[in-house]
A and B are shown apart, each in its own frame.
Chain A
Amino acid sequence: MKEMKGFVALRDSGLGEAVASFNSLASQRGVCRAGFSLMTYERIGEDLIVCLPGGSHLAPSVRSPYDVETLVPRMRGIGAMAAAGEIGVLSRSDVQRIFDTLSSKGYRIVGPTVRDGSVMWETIQAVSGLPIGWRDHQEPGRYRLEQSGSKDLFGVVHGPQSLKPFAFTPREPLVQIERSKDGFTARPTPPRQEKVAIIGARACDLAGLAIQDQIFLQGEYQDTYYATRREGLFIIAVNCTRALQTCFCASMDTGPCAKNGFDLALTEVDDQLLVQAGSEAGSDLLSVLSLSPASQELTREGALRVDACAQSQVRRLDRTRLPQALYDAHEHPRWDDVAARCLACANCTMVCPTCFCHKVEETPDLTRQNSAHARLWDSCFTQAHGYIHGKNIRPTIKDRYRMWLTHKLASWIDQFGTSGCVGCGRCITWCPVGIDLTEELSVLLKPSEQRSTSSRQQEASGR
């Protein structure tokens, strides 16, 4: 743990004294900015971590019984940033140095690029490939880019793609099968390992990748295809300083500050970027860059903006009663209501950073001497997903939406010890008819007098 200069841990009741202390300090030093603009805090249970210059003179009575180091690992805002390691500073005009260093190390660099009205991951050579000055506006069923005229490199929060396609690709060749005298021979077709540096991943993306890692790498079987692709990734995260209308990572505890799972993390503060390492590979790169350390003021300003991003999120997802409350809502009439709107088109599952369903596709050639197996992204919204010999477990859109939401928000917790939702909001934006899972969940968790049509449906289908 690095020394946490400038941070103090207080009891809840100590905030008033901290503000007074800050104000007197500010007047002594001629700091003109009023109120909290230079002071930010984060609440952890009954304790506060306050970023406060000269906080050491605060009365012991308002101090937290815990020290800063104990509380920091539980932080997601200011402390997480400062605690993650030495923070360097890079001026915006020097960001190309990161690109050049990565290129010299043999990485293909991938970053968000403006394409077809959104941003998509594309190979880029230079900073100029980033969506400079662009901002995204997202709301249910709607995505628009707008050029703000600023020089911001990372003004676009995200496009439809999370980090999912990099390790769990939409189509992965698995096995090549060739007919032979005594039947056939099969050989795996593993992907070529490639060093890919991704610049611009968000905290929610990292959380999604961590969940996919858990599924594909930490179970009984380690998936070699996923592992090969995953090993080559170098991830440069960007801490969010702007929340979309659709974001709710703060309520899922996954963002907007990248906690772990990155090699480098950037925080864009006007024309400066705070740079911190999150892994050994990241530290190596940082030492090659030999950046000057960021000033406390700049670090604080970055932290403040990330924190403000969390505060500004308008959507949230109440997880307190999950998974059981959603299991209990199996007969809620809201499922009929959402099924009337849902298209079962599968877009939500395609853009979801954690959805992992796939199918195995068999493709023989014309001569039927060779055949290939590949796995393709599949979705619980397709007709084939619930098929077993002659019947379908989930024939209706209602069955499928319920399967998806219940898995994502409830049974995922039983399976993997974590929610399947990271709060990125993509499923809200990219639903062609704008279905919002946070809204659906809040209705589903309210008790209802009515029952859904399931019981009638069950009778009718004789199941």
Chain B
Amino acid sequence: MPKCDAEKNQPKLGVFKFTSCDGCQLSLLNLEDDLLALGQALDIAYFPEASSKMNPGPYDLALVEGAITTEEDAHRIRSVREQTKVLVTIGACATSGGIQALRNWADVDSFKQVVYPSPHYIHSLKTSTPISEHVHVDFELWGCPIDKGQLLRVITDLLAGVQPQVPVESVCLECKRRGNVCVMVAKGLACLGPVTRAGCGAICPSMGRDCYGCFGPTEGARKGPGFPPNTTSLANYFHSGLQLIPVDVLRRFRGINGYASSFKQESERWDKKT
């Protein structure tokens, strides 16, 4: 990973939005005091969500939110990549296609007919795809939304010229380190924690509910170094142990990160059983 160009003044940051809800950009704004410190370390050159100041590239670091769902998106991300040294995706949409990737298993034209009075004004692609299907991505930050602590760590690592690193282990480790009771074992909830990567701090199980996989699959996640998580065993247990009918098993995996490869494969396996 190239070191950010800190010599001439400050490294330039661009924050770019594609098809998304803006929640991950809000995580950046929610850094509050740390954001001020970040503003001193970085030149926040382009961040329309926060400022009307829009300086042109090139950028040392681009944070990219959102999935590619239109021709215009697909064109613009190539332009962002060309102007950027280090490109980091932030959030589920940019990293795996997001919730809108549900359209990848459906017929977008029929949606348009149902929703819009003048569907011919709507120009969108038939699929929602992650940034990495279009351009090279230097680092992927998962989550819906991302964890602001992880974001800060990745930025400070990059500023220091260090390869960023976030844990790829399961949510269960964070969950049990927090002293939670397993919601799957004690309540019979169909929790995705065992196959979902840590990083959120086990928010949902800490509130007594099941993880729905918003940080994406553990280690085997798309470009991860390891093997894909054992979604098959978990899905089988949802069905045989927790009595979920096949369509409910499918829905567990076809969620916010449903288009991430191992979740995608699992839901498609259950698609055949419904």
- Among A112-120, A147-155, A315-323, the one that faces the other chain is A112-120
Determine if B48 is an interface residue (Cβ-Cβ < 8 Å). Answer: no
Residues of A within 8 A of B266 (CB): none
- B234 and A120 form a contact (CB under 8 A): no
Residues of A within 8 A of B226 (CB): 383, 392, 395
Pick from B34, B173, B184: contact of A379, CB under 8 Å: B173
B142 to chain A, nearest CB (A): 15
User: 1/0 per residue A359-401: CB within 8 Å of B?
Assistant: 0000110111000000011110011100000001001110000
- B38 and A143 form a contact (CB under 8 A): no
- A347 and B194 form a contact (CB under 8 A): yes
Bound-state CA distance A432–B227 (Å) is 20
Q: How many residues from A make CB contacts under 8 Å with B?
A: 47
- A433 and B241 form a contact (CB under 8 A): yes
User: 1/0 per residue B241-254: CB within 8 Å of A?
Assistant: 10000000000000
A377's nearest neighbour on chain B, judged by CB, is: B177
Determine if B216 is an interface residue (Cβ-Cβ < 8 Å). Answer: no
Beyond A344-B230, A433-B237, whether A115 also contacts B191 by CB under 8 A is: no
Residues of B within 8 A of A431 (CB): 185
Residues of A within 8 A of B56 (CB): none
- A341 and B233 form a contact (CB under 8 A): yes
Bound-state CA distance A165–B234 (Å) is 28
B37's nearest neighbour on chain A, judged by CB, is: A366
- A115 and B181 form a contact (CB under 8 A): yes
Residues of A within 8 A of B229 (CB): 343-344
Q: Of residues 403 to 448 in A, which have CB atoms within 8 Å of B's CB atoms? A: 429-434
Beyond A142-B185, A392-B225, whether A383 also contacts B179 by CB under 8 A is: no
Chain B interface bracket (under 10, 10 to 19, 20 to 34, 35 or more): 35 or more
A392 to chain B, nearest CB (A): 7
Determine if B170 is an interface residue (Cβ-Cβ < 8 Å). Answer: yes
Q: Of residues 172 to 195 in B, which have CB atoms within 8 Å of A's CB atoms? A: 172-173, 176-188, 191, 193-195
B34 to chain A, nearest CB (A): 6
Beyond A143-B185, A432-B237, whether A346 also contacts B177 by CB under 8 A is: no
Determine if A31 is an interface residue (Cβ-Cβ < 8 Å). Answer: no
Residues of A within 8 A of B177 (CB): 170-171, 350, 376-377
Determine if B160 is an interface residue (Cβ-Cβ < 8 Å). Answer: yes
- A397 and B156 form a contact (CB under 8 A): no
Determine if B208 is an interface residue (Cβ-Cβ < 8 Å). Answer: yes
Beyond A115-B181, A346-B169, A366-B34, whether A396 also contacts B227 by CB under 8 A is: yes
A385 to chain B, nearest CB (A): 9
Pick from A116, A344, A368, A392: contact of B186, CB under 8 Å: A116
Residues of A within 8 A of B38 (CB): 366
Bound-state CA distance A120–B176 (Å) is 12
Closest 5 CB pairs of A and B: A345-B194, A350-B176, A117-B186, A170-B177, A116-B181
What are 19 A-B pairs at a CB distance below 8 A? A116-B181, A118-B181, A120-B179, A159-B181, A161-B179, A170-B177, A341-B233, A344-B229, A345-B193, A368-B160, A376-B177, A378-B173, A383-B219, A384-B168, A397-B230, A431-B185, A432-B234, A433-B234, A433-B237
Residues on A close to B: CB < 8 A?
Answer: 115-118, 120, 141-144, 159-161, 165, 170-171, 340-347, 350-351, 363-364, 366-368, 376-379, 382-384, 392, 395-397, 429-434
